[in-house]
Amino acid sequence: MSKLERNSCIELASVTISVPIFTLMMHYIARENAKGLVFILITVVIVGITLFACTLAEKKVIERYDEREKKIKFKTFRWSAYVFVGYVMLMSFGAFFTVGGAGTIEVVHLPIFFVVGCFIAQLAQTAMTIILCNTGADDE
Amino acid sequence: MSSGEILNNIRRLRFNNGEMTQEQLAGKCSVTRQTIIAIEKGNYSPSLTLAFKIAKAFGVGVEDVFEFMD
């Protein structure tokens, strides 16, 4: 297993672990009926720091890749973005047309819906990385 | 030699340079062995910088390592 494949699997494991943690946190703050500017600020600070730390870590990892690995990385990232957009479209319109415009989807499900989308996108990225690394079909 | 638009002589040049391993060549060019394998098989076209690094590792010109076929 190459460095790129290994790192991609680690990323998938991290996202997989974060989904139930996030769901539990959502369950807690939904029970507390969290709303208003204070809760928004707390969320923005926590998410902001986490994203900043993850971006820095990811940047350091990418700097260690060679040019071919970087190409694979960006190609798989692009594909995961397509998967994420496809998932959002499918779930949004799917929910609309199955539940109906007048139906009720609880607002607490929206953040979980987003995080599950992140997991699916990461799964797609990891799968693509493994496929491209093993087939050598990574040329643009 | 690989098929495609850009052909390369890496395998032959490695052989002529005392059976240089892919790992050794990768080390000289600061890339992974997988990248050298991909280039050698013709699955990946390297950047100009990497092409020059490979040529330098063998002590030859870029045109001796890579050939462009119309």
pLDDT digits (tens, 9 = 90+) for B36-68: 999 998 888 899 999 999 999 999 999 999 998
DSSP type of residue A36:
S
H-helix or E-strand containing A1?
Answer: none
pLDDT per position as a tens digit, A10-41: 999 999 998 888 888 888 888 888 888 888 89
What was the pLDDT predicted at B4? 54
Helical axes A67-99 vs A109-135, angle rounded to 10°? 140
Beta carbons of B35 and A67 less than 8 Å apart: yes
Identify the architecture of domain B9-59 in CATH: Orthogonal Bundle (1.10)
What was the pLDDT predicted at A140? 43
Residue position matching structure tokens 């040529």: B55
In chain A, residues with a C-beta closer than 8 Å to the C-beta of B41 are: 136
> What is the pLDDT averaged over residues B2-19?
84
Q: How far is A124 from chain B (nearest CA, A)?
A: 22
Candidates A8, A62, A66, A72: best to mutate against B (most CBs of B within 10 A) is A66
ipTM of the complex: 0.79
Residues of chain A with pLDDT under 70: 136-140
What the block records as the tokens of A24 is 């539990």
Provide the whole-model pTM: 0.79
Identify the band that residue B20 occupies on the pLDDT scale cut at 50, 70 and 90. very high
Beta carbons of B44 and A3 less than 8 Å apart: no
Going from N- to C-terminal start, the domains of chain B cover 9-59
> What is the pLDDT averaged over residues B16-30?
92
